[in-house]
Copies of this chain bind each other. A is one copy, B any other.
Amino acid sequence: MPAPARTGREQIVAAARSLLEEGGVDAVTMAAVADRVGVRSPSLYKHVRDRGDLLAQTVAATIDDVTARLEALAEPDPGRSVLAQVEGMRRFAQEQPQGFRLMFGAVPGAPRAHPSEMERPLRLLLEAMAALVGPEHALDGARLVTAWANGFITMELTGALQMGGDIDAAWEWGLRRIVAAVTAVG
């Protein structure tokens, strides 16, 4: 007689995501995940291949999340849209710092998202950039903005750069300069 499933892939990934934010990637233990979904750790292997697969699915779910979040921030005006997308990235990183780091492959040993997956959350930024500086410079511009934002956010999250004074002001100052640098293409 078949035993009814007491958990599932979706619930397991959700448990992994919450454990990730609570205690970092090291806290995403097969035992901890199993405990949270009310099952013993060997049972997890009926739903995910192994821990690497579970972390990969955690990253994928995080990418889905940030993509939906950024799509909700779309604006008609391309200049405002660029700002909204970048601000949205930072807000997401502040809400889910561990997921953000995992997403950007900042975790050695952990699986990183496929490049094609990482393009999805950047689609709207790329489109707004194309409308702003023309299609021939859109990719370079999106890269410049993304690199700066990712670097700033990462440094903010880890405190790598001693951010003396008003960190929000530093962000604003940098963002304005960056956008100016991109739009001054000629």
Contacts and interface: CB of A to CB of B under 8 A. Distances in A.
Interface in A103-119: 104-109, 112-113, 115-116, 118-119
Contacts of A160: 104-105, 112-113, 115, 118, 150
Contact of A108 (B25, B122, B151): B25
A181 B173 CA distance: 11
A144 interface: yes
Interface string A140-171: 10011011111110110011111110000010
Interface string A10-37: 0000000000000011100000000000
11 contacts: A104-B160, A105-B158, A115-B162, A140-B173, A143-B161, A143-B163, A144-B174, A146-B151, A147-B148, A147-B151, A177-B181
Given A118-B161, A144-B178, A151-B152, 20 more contacts: A26-B109, A101-B108, A105-B158, A105-B160, A106-B106, A106-B108, A107-B107, A112-B158, A112-B159, A115-B161, A140-B170, A143-B163, A144-B148, A144-B173, A146-B155, A147-B174, A149-B151, A177-B182, A180-B181, A181-B181
